[in-house]
Chains A and B, each alone.
Chain A
Amino acid sequence: MLLWGRCTALLLLCATACTAATTTHPSASMPVGSCHVMSQPEELYALSDVRPPVPCHRPHQTETYLVTQLSGPLASAPIRPPHELLVPMVTAGCDYRPIRPYLAAGPHDAQWGVSVWGKVPTPDEWAAGDRTLRCDLLVPTTHPNGGPTLTAPLRGIMARPESAAIRRCNLEGRDLQCALPHEWEWVEPQGLTRNRCRANAAMFAGGLRGLRIRLGRDRSCWVGQERHRISVGTLRNGMMA
């Protein structure tokens, strides 16, 4: 009886689902700096990712900044623990400290909207002993109705004009990426006096010629172009469009 069911199910599977087959890449062999396409929310939320990485100049969503090994009592489990238990372990394992050096962020640079997503081995890889933890960075979207997309590597991005995608700007009181039209751009750190903000902004932009500063209520420091001009891109020294 079950044989009938199995045969029919296999026929159905071949008739419908064979198109879903595609090549995979082992979790353990994803290097730091590899870029990954995760255009679907399901791909982002899935615990593992074995899609082959893509060149970072091609549209992608995440980039690996850290590859490490899972440790602790759960890591010794022969079967991969469920999602709820892995999430705290992944959160603890993906150290945030390497992020700023990876982005080449200076003291006046602040990354904005970048989130960390961890990937663990597939159940089969886990059962085979693989405990690789891959930590990826996801950039915010520049498309209000679409998923995030980046066409440049995040490694050292703060030294390049593409960093506008992960810098914080403001337009009419609304925070957004500097890659979108904006009036003000955030300068690190905050909690400053007006003079200190002016000095930091000058260092940030390489001078304040044609620029003005604003001190927010929370004493945050902002720099923008004169005459309330709307601009796209970052004012960071040497990166202005």
Chain B
Amino acid sequence: MTLDQHESGGPTAWGDRFPDQPASRRRRLAWLGSRPRTQPTLGAPESDAGKHRRTWLVPGSRRARQRGVRRYPLVAVIVGVVWAAIMQVRLFAGGHVGLAGFGENLPCRLGLASFGNRALAGWEHVQPTWTSHAWTGETCPPELSTALLAQAAGKWLTPLLGYPGALDLRALGVMFGLLIGVICGLLVAVVPGRPVVRVAFASAVGLVYADAAFAGYLISPYAEPTALVAAGFLVVALLFLWERPTVPRVLATAAPALLVIGARPEYVTFVPVVAFALLWVRGRRIVALMVATWLAGIGIFHTVTEARFDDHKVVFQTILYDDPTAAADLTSLGLDPKLAPAAGLSRNSAGWVSFADRYHRTAHPSPLRVAGFYATRPWHAIRTVGWGFQGVAGLSPHYLGSYPEGAGRPEGAREHRVVVYSTLWEILRKGPLLTLVLWVATAGAGYLVVRRRSLTASEKTLGRLAVVLPLAAMAQFAVVILVHGRVETVRHMAMTSWLTALCVPVLAMAVTLVMTRLSPTPRWQHSN
């Protein structure tokens, strides 16, 4: 894939695949200069001669030249600006769109309240304007999320952008749109390959954000947009780290990782995945271990203090849903079997009232016990995993409106301005298990890329990403189905779906890298 890099130790130079390119002496030298002849140990100092040979041949920053990695800064800036503009147009042209914040009151921690239409339940329309409000007692739950940092920034931006209220979610949309542009630009700089390949990959990632399934979150009070944008920066930071692990790069990975992990308690699953990714380097492992430990501490603290395991959703609305052995399963979970007639009932249903007292007097299972239950009853595990895959395949929370009130759209209407991945997901909706296939294929292709000796260190970073992404998706998937069951699965799977969507361009890159280095003899030589 990295067409501009010389393949050291291999039988042919990569540029040899293209008969027209090697004709240029200068270009040939440039490829040679883009990478040392022998694969250096990551983090090892390079010879002065090597540095001197490359610095005048390879475009990009001085440091990048010294490392033998091309950054294409101009292309990166252009792509970043273009994608920032695309996101603004996508969110605001023809009237802004977003995601209805049904039941979400996270900004109350900033002393804000949404004075929307009281006649509406909340799922119908986006209500962007939040005004200052003094909350007291338990009216504003003491939630702690890194999303509050983004919302505080949005609060600061709101008057600057001329929006009404103390916080206008459109200010968040502007901010997140610009940050997505930065992510796309940075991806051009860190992804291996020719400029066109880098631009294509960055644009594929930009399309994930722009897709109707995810773009709405950017103008919403949920914690998801902060996590999704931070996850984009995490991807960039990891690619940058794997390219050449240095202390600043390890530390730079911690910031987006912290933002993701702290956004919601469920994102604690990123702790082992990021720790694995941090430690998957040669050198700087002590620093990486320190950062991983720090992230683990924050993640565990955040989960312990913030997570509230609601066994009602998991037991009564998931395990017992349409369950012929409800009483026996309740006994297995340590609950009163007389609660079996309450199977499938939500807390809000009238029928639940008569069971409420008994439910609160019985023992309640911990997440570990529920996990143990699934481990010993494969039928239940398969059912719940199936609902989880349906949630990922659902991709877009179709029950939450995209348009503001007064936009002339019916209640709960969804926007479909960019639907590349949403359209692609039609395949997953027909066969939700294909999600698993996509994860396995991505991880497998990534493993092959990492193992292939003919690929450069820079190219292998993408292989590592292809391994880490499905791991993160699977870990997140497991926790969501364990904690939320089949209740509002699509929205709770937002991060899983985003990671899964990201697997598509990463898989394409990984497969291309593997396929292009299969043959030891260049194709153009065969034709001659």
* Chain A residues with a Cβ under 8 A of chain B: 1-6, 8-9, 12-13, 15-17, 19-20, 22-24, 39-43, 46-51, 81-82, 84-85, 88, 122-123, 141, 143-147
Contacts and interface: CB of A to CB of B under 8 A. Distances in A.
Contacts of A39: 113, 115, 133
A20 B109 contact: yes
Nearest to A1: B297
- Which 9 A/B pairs are nearest by Cβ-Cβ distance? A5-B301, A1-B297, A84-B356, A5-B297, A16-B148, A50-B137, A5-B298, A51-B136, A4-B297
Contacts of A48: 137-138
Contact of B137 (A3, A40, A46, A143): A46
Given A85-B356, A88-B353, A40 B300 contact: no
B105 interface: yes
B297 A2 contact: yes
A20 B110 contact: yes
Nearest to A16: B148
B146 interface: yes
Interface string B282-317: 000000000001101111111001000000000000
Interface residues of B, number: 44
Contacts of B152: 15-16
Contacts of B262: 9, 12
Contact of B300 (A2, A12, A81, A122): A2
A147 B144 CA distance: 28
A176 to B, nearest CB: 14
A112 B360 CA distance: 36
Contact of A22 (B135, B142, B146, B305): B135
A51 B113 contact: no
B424 interface: no
A49 B137 contact: yes
B118 A147 contact: yes
Given A1-B296, A2-B301, A9-B305, A123 B110 contact: no
B258 interface: yes
**Majority SS at the chain B contact face:** helix
B139 interface: yes
A123 B301 contact: no
Interface string B91-109: 0000000000000010011
Contact of A9 (B137, B140, B144): B144
Contacts of B149: 12, 15-16
B113, B139, B352: most-surrounded residue (chain A CB, <10 A): B139
9 contacts: A1-B293, A5-B302, A16-B110, A17-B109, A17-B148, A22-B134, A42-B108, A85-B356, A147-B118
Nearest to B148: A16
B430 to A, nearest CB: 40
Given A5-B297, A5-B300, A88-B353, A17 B144 contact: yes
Given A1-B297, A42-B140, A46-B139, A16 B109 contact: yes
Interface in B62-116: 105, 108-111, 113, 115
Contacts of B108: 20, 42
Contacts of A6: 301
